[in-house]
A and B are shown apart, each in its own frame.
Chain A
Amino acid sequence: MSLVVVGTSHRLAPVEVREKVALDLKGAADLARRLADGGEAVCLSTCNRTEIYLAHPAPDEAEERAGAALTAGEIELYRLRDEAAALHLFRVASGLDSLVPGEGEILGQVRAAYESGTCGPVLDRLFRQALHAGKKVRTETAISESPASISAAAAALAEQVFGDLEGCRVLLVGAGEVSELAARSLAKRGASISAVTSRTQARAEELAAQFGGQAIPFAQLGEELARADVVISSTSASGQVMSRDQVPERKGLPLFVIDLAVPRDVDPAVAELDGCYLYDIDDLQAVVSESLSGRWREAARAETIVAQEAERFRKWQASLEVVPAIASLRERAESIRSGELAKAESRLGGLSESERHTVESLTTQIVNKLLHVPIVRLKEAAATEGAGYVEAARHLFGLGEEERASSDRKPRK
């Protein structure tokens, strides 16, 4: 049973190409069922990739069918086999093949694809191990800990100031898309968007309703600043909308101000106030760049973990090849043993039942002991030397020759 992966991703194709082969979960499950054809198939389709994983006894045909299903020859695809295919999936699940290394969403997408796929022993093992590798990378490295976007950086910095954001009051100044994204990121971590103020009252009310906050007139900004813990400002005003004098005495309580506007909304002198932390768009961008470079550094450590997991899978897959050979060897030894005992039946006729049992047991033990070392070596060699070693064992012990001979004797139609 060989492993095959055929697919395309953001590394190979732009979005206008990827969208042609993108599938929802149900479509991916249907395609996997169709392509399995007596084997196993899983289709993984996300916004960055569409890939088909197949485990099939005829890998060339399976690869052909998967390629045709995806593109009908119009899109460039990558095609990987066995070890390379397993390593690829482990890298995908670990977020090492993502646009932003270590992004967390892919692990859930791999799980969903696995659960909706047509799995047998090979893909079942492959995907379970991929999920394990993905989790291991995220727990043993810091690849997914640092923020990868401006809004995530703003939320992470707020957490660095306040710890738990549960109960933190956020004031939105300006109701544009940028401040909405940042607010969403903070709200996801437990902060409450308490007030929204904007020059366009209708938009402020709409956004406030979304987050369960209150729309306030722009003139009340000063009063609301006294109650807020975090301020996100992103207006399109040409001058400053928040001056140092507007910020009331904080009595040691911190105030975290995020100025996402260009030109800037907040007077830079606000940063000089005790307990006030002011970050503008460039500061946040610098935090993101630093954290992305940190993610790349962690990715190098993650690659080692993924390679170890891929090696474990390779050994398991290789051990599958040796199982039929070992079974044949045992079968052949047993047939020789029982055959020889049957031949000696006339000479053993005078033995009591107990003596006959002893002879049975003795011969079985001799056979088992003779086979023990070759079987252990076969298992070890299958993982290191590959299929050639198994073939050599088949040849040495003459395994499968009788089946071949009997099939040769059968009349051909």
Chain B
Amino acid sequence: VVAELLFWPALLAYGEAAVAYAGDARHPGSLGRLATWGVRIGWLVQTALLVVQAARADGFPWDTWAGSLNLFVWLVVGAYLIWGCKPRYRLLGLVVMPLAALLLALSYAAGGAGATGASGYSTIFLVLHVGLVLAGFAGLTLAAALAALYLWEERLLKRRSPRVLKFRAPSLAILDRLVARTVAVALPVLTLGMAAGFARLRDKSDLDPLIGLTVLAWAVYGAFLVLRYGVGWRGRRAAYMALIGFALVIALHLGLPTSHFA
């Protein structure tokens, strides 16, 4: 009951933030502040929800697909809060918050707000593997949101839209830098999470297609960093590459219930 009581206000706050961000993009002003408060309150309530779940569970409480989605949303919104509170990054919320609200609702529908059964894996392994992989994915999601914002703003500039200054978005150069830096932080975290998973592999029967997909996503982001910092890829090409990597992250999330959590 407590988890239910905490879930709905969190979802409501995220939903309110998503709507307020959409309004703020049309008429910049006080709606932006309402959106930021929605994110903050929603995140705090979701934190309480996770604490309640952790207190009630015997081991790692988010070892189901729905549970991992719940934790993933919390990590994404937490990472977003680092920048989201600054007025110039509010537009990022247009991408992040609807996604967060949608995934949280999905998590609830699949039972992510409830208690989970005891897992066959040790808690330390789950914290390292699930926690780090999800934290890495959260960072890569934020990088994708920044890349989307870059492409949107670049399009406005390219088309010489008179409204380009109206939104007070960060400059292209800053967005380009942030995409690269966020991937540079998220990829090592994902690598550690993957390494924990590989260390736990016993025989060939533990392998599934999702592991291959994860390695592919890892390779795309690795290539992104090499091309960005080694070859000097910037701007649109780098942003598209970050989005391609994110498409794989989404595919991974959707594929989780059919393999890892099957």
Contacts and interface: CB of A to CB of B under 8 A. Distances in A.
Contact of A251 (B29, B172, B173, B232): B232
Given A159-B171, A160-B172, A161-B171, A283 B160 contact: yes
B236 A274 contact: yes
B157 interface: yes
A147 B164 CA distance: 12
B233 interface: yes
B235 A252 contact: yes
Nearest to B174: A163
A144 to B, nearest CB: 13
B190 interface: no
Contacts, number: 72
Nearest to A297: B27
Contacts of B169: 160
B198 to A, nearest CB: 35
Interface in B186-243: 232-238
B162 A253 contact: no
A78 B138 CA distance: 62
Interface in B35-75: none
Interface residues of A, number: 31
A279 B165 contact: no
Contacts of B235: 252, 254, 274-275
B157 A253 contact: no
Interface in A299-315: 301
Contacts of B165: 146-147, 153, 156-157, 160, 287, 290-291
Contacts of B238: 252
Interface in A275-293: 275, 277-279, 283, 286-287, 289-291
Interface in A109-163: 142, 145-147, 153, 156-157, 159-163
B168 A145 contact: yes
B148 to A, nearest CB: 17
Contacts of A157: 157, 164-165
Contacts of A386: none
Q: Which of B29, B157, B237 has the most CB of A within 10 A?
A: B157
Contact of B173 (A163, A283, A287, A301): A163
A176 interface: no
A305 to B, nearest CB: 13
A287 B164 contact: yes
25 contacts: A145-B168, A147-B165, A157-B157, A157-B164, A157-B165, A159-B171, A160-B169, A160-B172, A161-B157, A164-B173, A251-B232, A252-B232, A252-B233, A252-B234, A252-B235, A253-B234, A254-B172, A254-B173, A274-B236, A275-B235, A275-B236, A277-B160, A290-B162, A290-B166, A294-B166
Closest 6 CB pairs of A and B: A252-B234, A163-B171, A290-B162, A286-B162, A163-B173, A283-B160
